Amino acid sequence: MCCRSDESQKIWNQSTSDKTDSCERKTKGFVSMTRPKLTKKIYLMLTSFVLSLFVSTNAYTSSDKQLYKAAITSHMRCQQQTPPQKKKTCLHAAQRYRRFIRAFPHHKKSYALHWYLGDVLYHAGSYTEAIKVFQKVRSWPHKRQHRAKAASSILYALRHQMTAACRLGHIKRGTQPPCQQNISTHPLPFPSLLQAFQKEAKQFFQLVPKTHSDYPVFYSQSIYLYFLYGYHQKSRTLFRSFSSMFPTHRATKELRRMILPHHARMRLKLIIKAEQHFEQKEWKKAAVSYEQVSRMFPHHRRAAHALWNAQLLYEEVHAYKRALTLCHHLLSTYPLFRFRHLIPPQIKKLKQLTNKRNKR
Same domain? For 69 and 133 the reply is yes
Tell me if 229 is assigned to some domain: yes
Same domain? For 122 and 194 the reply is no
Q: Which residues of 323-342 are buried (b: 16+ CB within 10 A; e: fewer)?
A: bbebbeebeeebeebeeeee
d(CA 106, CA 189): 43
Same domain? For 119 and 192 the reply is no
Among 263, 289, 305, the domain-final residue is 263
d(CA 209, CA 59): 45
* Structural domain of 99: 64-145
pLDDT the model gives residue 13: 53
pLDDT by residue (tens digit) across 29-69? 433 434 444 465 565 565 555 445 443 444 445 566 777 78
Average pLDDT, the chain: 79
HSE-CB for 283 with a 13 A CA cutoff:
11
Same domain? For 248 and 293 the reply is no
Range 284-292 average pLDDT: 89
Same domain? For 299 and 249 the reply is no
State CA 285 to chain mean position distance.
43
- Count of the separate structural domains present in the chain: 3
Q: Which residue has the higher pLDDT, 173 or 159?
A: 159
Range 15-34 average pLDDT: 45
Tell me if 227 is assigned to some domain: yes
pLDDT the model gives residue 277: 87
Tell me if 166 is assigned to some domain: no
Tell me if 187 is assigned to some domain: yes
Same domain? For 239 and 287 the reply is no
**What residue spans of the chain are helical by DSSP H?**
2-80, 83-103, 110-124, 127-138, 147-168, 192-207, 215-228, 232-245, 250-279, 283-296, 303-316, 320-333, 343-359
pLDDT the model gives residue 182: 52
pLDDT the model gives residue 38: 46
Among 263, 290, 312, the domain-final residue is 263
Q: Are 291 and 306 spatial neighbours (Cβ–Cβ below 8 Å)?
A: yes
Tell me if 186 is assigned to some domain: yes
Among 145, 170, 189, the domain-final residue is 145
Q: Are 296 and 316 spatial neighbours (Cβ–Cβ below 8 Å)?
A: no
Same domain? For 138 and 197 the reply is no
pLDDT by residue (tens digit) across 307-325? 999 999 999 998 989 999 9
pLDDT the model gives residue 215: 93
pLDDT the model gives residue 33: 39
Tell me if 309 is assigned to some domain: yes
Range 280-296 average pLDDT: 87
User: Where residue 184 falls among pLDDT bands split at 50, 70, 90?
Assistant: low
Range 114-118 average pLDDT: 92
pLDDT the model gives residue 100: 87
User: Where residue 234 falls among pLDDT bands split at 50, 70, 90?
Assistant: confident
- CATH code: domain of residue 88: 1.25.40
Same domain? For 256 and 286 the reply is no
Of 202, 104, 213, nearest in space to 158 by CA: 202
User: Where residue 88 falls among pLDDT bands split at 50, 70, 90?
Assistant: confident
pLDDT the model gives residue 45: 62
pLDDT the model gives residue 44: 56
- CATH code: domain of residue 321: 1.25.40.10
d(CA 312, CA 318): 10
CA diameter of the chain: 154
User: Where residue 357 falls among pLDDT bands split at 50, 70, 90?
Assistant: confident
Question: Model-level pTM greater than 0.85?
Answer: no
Tell me if 51 is assigned to some domain: no
pLDDT at residue 4 is higher than 80: no
pLDDT at residue 7 is higher than 60: no
In the 3-class helix/strand/coil scheme, how is 3-64 assigned residue by residue?
Answer: HHHHHHHHHHHHHHHHHHHHHHHHHHHHHHHHHHHHHHHHHHHHHHHHHHHHHHHHHHHHHH
d(CA 357, CA 241): 45
Return the ∠ at Cα 233 (arms to 228 and 234), rounded to 5°. Answer: 75
Tell me if 43 is assigned to some domain: no
